[in-house]
Amino acid sequence: MSFLFTGIDHVQLAAPEDCEKDARSFYGELLGWKEIAKPQSLIARGGVWFQCGSHQVHIGVQNDFIPARKAHPAFQVQNLCALREYLLQEGIQVIDDHARSDEGVERFYLSDPFGNRLEFLQWL
């Protein structure tokens, strides 16, 4: 083949109209992700973009929004235990999952403010 995949540029998560305030609160303030500017040509569509490590997470407005409860992004974290404790202290419900513990993976899930499933994991 004459082409090569080099990775993932961004993940887009859908959200309902007028989601920006809740997205900024959850992804920007709670998770501490830096908001990044959307291109001028996309601003009118609504939503908000964030930087997560070397990747971007785009929260996009979907008119007939239905949360993604099965399909989900998985975010690698250093010191997953500290993130879990922080989220619990902030009143966020986490769902522990030990299905991959035998592979050396610790992980948990949660729902964003819009009901989308997010996974956080650490390879031990």
CB 67 within 8 A of CB 115: yes
For position 1, what pLDDT does the model report? Answer: 85
> Taking the domains of the chain in order of start, what are their residue ranges?
10-123
Contact (CB, 8 A) for 114 and 67: yes
Tell me if the domain spanning 10-123 has CATH number 3.90.226.10. Answer: no
pLDDT given for residue 3 in this prediction: 93
Is residue 73 within 8 A of residue 55, CB to CB? The reply is no
Cα dist. 22→4, 27, 28, 47, 56 in Å? 37, 8, 9, 10, 18
Q: Closest by alpha carbon to 74, among 109, 12, 119?
A: 119
Instruction: pLDDT tens for the chain, 124 residues: list them.
Output: 899 999 999 999 999 999 999 999 999 999 999 999 999 999 999 999 999 999 999 999 999 999 999 999 999 999 999 999 999 999 999 999 999 999 999 999 999 999 999 999 999 9
Instruction: Give the span between the Cα atoms of 98 and 22, in whole angstroms.
Output: 30
Q: How far apart are CA 103 and CA 92, in angstroms?
A: 27
